A and B are shown apart, each in its own frame.
Chain A
Amino acid sequence: SQTIHQWPATLVQPVGSPLSLECTVEGTSNPNLYWYRQAAGRGLQLLFYSVGIGQISSEVPQNLSASRPQDRQFILSSKKLLLSDSGFYLCAWSVRWNSPLHFGNGTRLTVT
């Protein structure tokens, strides 16, 4: 069966520090991969999605970036965090464009 791993679970970082969140999927090949962010009390915002290695689509202009160095690995990064980057970051995968998403456990990021 397919599983998705996301880490770390919680993170407290100072403003201006870098960020690297990692997500890996097991049990499937060539999944669509996604990064979402959920601010406190708000809906899910799609940040990036990828349909293949090295293919990244950005949905929202911001100081974040994403990379997919391997088929089942998706990384979210920032060179300098802002206070507004605080939130609940969720990695997800799907089989194809119209299939449901399956989420990792999420990373709760607090920028201080």
Chain B
Amino acid sequence: RKEVEQDPGPFNVPEGATVAFNCTYSNSASQSFFWYRQDCRKEPKLLMSVYSSGNEDGRFTAQLNRASQYISLLIRDSKLSDSATYLCVVTPFTGGGNKLTFGTGTQLKVEL
């Protein structure tokens, strides 16, 4: 089983739609979780951290389910500019250094 798994998509949604992505992780000792956004041929950029209680940033909501070992990202009122690949990132406890594990990403295409 991969350490971090994501549905590669693409998710094709109309502008204004709500879309959700899930990401599963295999290491139950994982400590920190993040969502990144990567535009084509660009570097990944931090979208938001994921907290145990769930958190929201504008149209974006992130949730963590430790029992089932997955995190989710919900995007409301999708914009054309939301089209990108969304990467799930997990940090296991290593006692030193930082070995963030990236999922391969879920591609989102928002259409008119």
Q: Are A103 and B102 in contact (CB under 8 A)?
A: no
Stretch with Cβ within 8 A of B (4 or more), from A44-52, A62-70, A73-81:
A44-52
The CA of A65 and the CA of B34, in the complex, are separated in Å by 28
- Any A CB within 8 A of the CB of B32: yes
Residues of A within 8 A of B49 (CB): 100
Which residue, B32, B44, B45, B104, has most C-beta atoms of chain A within 10 A? B44
Bound Cα distance from A90 to B45, whole angstroms: 12
- Asked if B53 is at the interface (CB within 8 A of a chain A CB), the reply is no
User: How many residues of chain B have a CB within 8 Å of chain A?
Assistant: 24
Using known A-B contacts A42-B104, A43-B104, A43-B105, determine if residue A98 contacts B43 with beta carbons closer than 8 Å.
no
1/0 contact string of A84-112 vs chain B (CB within 8 Å): 00001010001011111111111010000
- B107, chain A: closest CB distance, angstroms: 10
Asked whether B81 is an interface residue with its Cβ less than 8 Å from the other chain, the reply is no
Instruction: Tell me the bound Cα distance from A8 to B34 in angstroms.
Output: 28
Nearest A residue (CB) for B43: A103
Within 8 A of A (CB), among B51-104: 87, 89, 91, 93-94, 96-100, 102-104
Residues of chain B at the chain A interface (Cβ within 8 Å): 31-32, 34, 41-46, 49, 87, 89, 91, 93-94, 96-100, 102-105
Interface size class of A (residues with CB under 8 A): 20 to 34
The 7 closest A-B pairs by CB, nearest first: A43-B104, A103-B43, A44-B102, A98-B32, A97-B98, A106-B43, A100-B46
Q: Is the CB of B98 within 8 A of A96?
A: yes
